Amino acid sequence: MKEIKGLIFDCDGTLADTMPLHWRAWQMITQRHNLHFPQDRFYATGGVPSRDILKMLAQEQGRSLDHIAVAHEKEETYLKTLEQVKPIHAVVEIAKENFGKIPMAVASGGTQKIICMVLEHLKIRDLFDAVVTSEMVTNQKPAPDIFLEAARLIGVEPKSCRAYEDTELGLQAIRSAGMEAVDVREMLAK
């Protein structure tokens, strides 16, 4: 058993129960802009920044769309529901138990503004030594960049990190980074 020297957590769907709220915001925005985005596809693109999802949907559906502006609109719609965000206790407890013992980071496909607001709302921002978000890396999940950057910022070699995720793309990114991957969906199913 290798020694784990750093922990890295995804935020949405891992530390914070935000996915149903994100889905509601997506429904409003895709209807408003006449885009088709079924729920199974929403969950399959977990961890992908909104701007990238919108660019992909517009291209696939032959729509002309300012994906940056519409992504901003989607985030603003989501922010109105921030007060409803609840912690995912089983995962937050792991972070609380390890606070002050080993370095920890958040690695999220969300934006710095929103992820920090969610962590502050849950009163867990201070548990983490670093928060890495989509603007800080070039390649998004399933590329390992976001997890590698989180490891770099907490000063731990990737092979000595354990990372927690709730999506296939995120788990793929963790494994590509050479880290131990924990699928929180399995923890929560118990």
Alpha-carbon gap, residue 39 to 26, rounded angstroms: 9
Tens-level pLDDT at each residue, the chain (190 residues): 679 999 999 999 999 999 999 999 999 999 999 999 999 999 888 888 999 999 999 999 999 999 999 999 999 999 999 999 999 999 999 999 999 999 999 999 999 999 999 999 999 999 999 999 999 999 999 999 999 999 999 999 999 999 999 999 999 999 999 999 999 999 888 6
Which residues pair with residue 105 across a beta bridge?
Answer: 8, 130
What pLDDT score does 36 carry? 97
Q: Please give the model's pTM, rounded to 2 decimal places.
A: 0.91
17 is catalytic: no
pLDDT of 46 reads: 84
CA atoms within 13 A on the CB side of 45: 20
User: 79 and 114 in contact (C-beta within 8 Å)?
Assistant: yes
Domains (range + CATH), the chain: 6-17+85-189 (3.40.50.1000), 19-82 (1.10.150)
Confirm if 165 and 14 have CB atoms less than 8 A apart. Answer: yes
Give me the catalytic one of 10, 17, 145, 166: 10
Between CA 15 and CA 131, with CA 24 as vertex, the angle to 5 degrees is 30
Residue 71 three-state SS:
helix
Nearest to 85 by CA among 41, 107, 116, 54: 116
Classify residue 69 by burial, with Cβ atoms within 10 Å: 0-12, 13-18, 19+. exposed
